[in-house]
């Protein structure tokens, strides 16, 4: 494996860890863990089309909505595809599922992440799209 492919594999692993942390924060309804994943200038569009610009707006919304969410905590996030737009910018397609004994819903988020100088990948421009069945 070349140095470049080793670095790319490490970046893909890091991106998957970000998505795993999103999943964990949603399962545990933990706004602090979720918000720690965002770039300060991030843009987040919710599944219902609400556009949040900047970490302050994302934090205000998340702190109001996440702890009060009515699902039973069974959510899953799976990385479906990673496209590197540049070595430090990746578009990550995710399959999101909320599960309950009576219902299941699915989302198809797109997370554009940027690699910081310290090596961390942060959510920077994200669209959380609900999947309509039928």
Q: Which helix (H) or strand (E) holds 104?
A: strand 104-107
User: Following DSSP, what letter does each residue of 40-101 receive, concatenated?
Assistant: EEEEEE-TT--EEESHHHHHHHHHHHSTT--S-SEEEEEEEEEEEEETTEEEEEEEEEEE-S
Task: Please tell me the predicted confidence (pLDDT) of residue 102.
Answer: 74
Say what the pLDDT of residue 134 is: 66
Q: How would you class 14 by CB atoms within 10 Å of its CB: exposed for 0-12, middle for 13-18, buried for 19 or more? A: middle
SS3 128: coil
Phi, psi (degrees; rounded to nearest 5) at 82: -125, 130
pLDDT for 1? 64
What pLDDT is recorded for position 115? 98
The verdict on pTM exceeding 0.85 is yes
Question: How far is Cα 100 from Cα 74, in angstroms, rounded to an integer?
Answer: 7
Gap between the Cα atoms of 15 and 111, Å rounded: 10
Predicted confidence pLDDT, tens digits, the chain (134 residues): 677 788 899 999 999 999 999 999 998 999 999 999 999 999 999 988 999 999 999 999 999 998 887 766 588 999 999 999 999 999 999 999 987 777 788 899 999 999 999 999 999 999 998 888 76
Per-residue pLDDT, 125: 98
What is the predicted pLDDT for the residue at 58?
97
């Amino acid at each position: 494996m070349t140095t470049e492919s080793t670095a790319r594999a490490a970046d893909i692993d890091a991106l998957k860890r970000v998505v795993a942390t999103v999943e964990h924060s949603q399962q545990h309804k933990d706004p602090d863990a979720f918000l720690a994943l965002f770039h300060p200038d991030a843009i987040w569009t919710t599944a219902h089309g609400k556009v949040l610009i900047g970490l302050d707006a994302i934090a205000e919304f998340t702190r109001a909505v996440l702890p009060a969410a009515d699902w039973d905590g069974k959510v899953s996030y799976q990385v479906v595809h990673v496209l590197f737009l540049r070595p430090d910018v990746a578009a990550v397609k995710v399959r999101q599922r909320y599960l309950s004994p009576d219902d299941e819903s699915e989302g198809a988020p797109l997370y554009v992440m940027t690699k910081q100088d310290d090596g961390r990948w942060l959510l920077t421009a994200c669209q959380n799209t609900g999947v309509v069945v039928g």
